[in-house]
Amino acid sequence: MARRTPQLVLGLLIFGMGLGFVVLGAQGEGPWTVFHEGVSLHTPLTIGTVTILTGAVLVAGLVWAREPVGFGTLMNGVIVGLATDATLAIFDQPASLAGQVAMTLASPLLVALGSGLYLGVMLGPGPRDGVMTAMYRRGIPVWLSRLIIEAVPFIIGAILGGKVGWGTVYWLVVIGPAVNLAMKFFSWPVVPSRWIDVFNALGADRRGVGGRSLTA
């Protein structure tokens, strides 16, 4: 695991940076960021702190449901939340619309790169993907599982004032294919058996990610 941890941490840092960029772009955010920002607008919590606390609640739910929780699952919410807040502290929101658009366009690409890096080390999915997999294991189709875990926080976040716009649509269109592409480049040779359902639910078929075996 020691050899995989640097890739895991780098991926989560890039992931968090991507989330910070979409907030700074102010053109509309991904579903969960809409939720995190919406909650932060009504509490003294930062977006990153809401991310961490949400991840902790989801991990607790996975443990209660007796779903596998890996080192990567535990690190996901913490590092991503800290990296998001750091990005928002370091970078200023662009004054020009062009700069905001550039940040919005870059955001899901950074998140996809980060996802490919951290998922590729096979140390466990993020809490949200873990919940989707738990639903998948219980007979709920992947498309419906994904819809539920994206739509519910999005609706709540939008009601609370999270930013919704064309960037939200762009995010939803780009993120899936971009993550799948990134995983082909950064996945380790095999997937441990405890994570096979996760990668099947994420869209990797049983032949493996990038043609590699899904058994270990």
57, 199 in Cβ contact below 8 A?
no
Judged by average pLDDT, the poorest of 27-36, 38-47, 152-161, 196-205 is 196-205
Answer whether residue 161 shows pLDDT above 90.
yes
pLDDT, residue 199, reads: 60
Residue 100 lies in a domain: yes
- Average pLDDT taken over every residue of the chain: 85
83, 20 in Cβ contact below 8 A?
yes
Classify the C-alpha dihedral 68-71-77-78 as positive or negative: positive
In terms of residue numbers, what domain contains 110? 5-211
pLDDT, residue 189, reads: 54
198, 127 in Cβ contact below 8 A?
no
Residue 169 lies in a domain: yes
Q: How far is CA 103 from CA 50, 164, 178, 212, in A?
A: 22, 15, 16, 34
Alpha-carbon distance of 166 to 150, in angstroms, equals 17
pLDDT, residue 78, reads: 94
Q: How far is CA 102 from CA 24, 26, 47, in A?
A: 10, 11, 21
Residue 188 lies in a domain: yes
pLDDT, residue 139, reads: 85
Answer whether residue 159 shows pLDDT above 50.
yes
- Give the model confidence (pLDDT) of 109-149 as tens digits: 999 999 888 888 888 888 988 888 888 888 888 778 888 98
pLDDT, residue 196, reads: 57
**CB neighbours of residue 200 within 10 Å:** 16
| Residue written as token pair 């294919």 | 177
Long-range contact set of residues 149-152: C-beta below 8 Å, sequence gap at least 24? 150/31, 150/32, 151/31
Mean pLDDT of 167-176: 91
How many domains is the chain built from? 1
Residue 216 lies in a domain: no
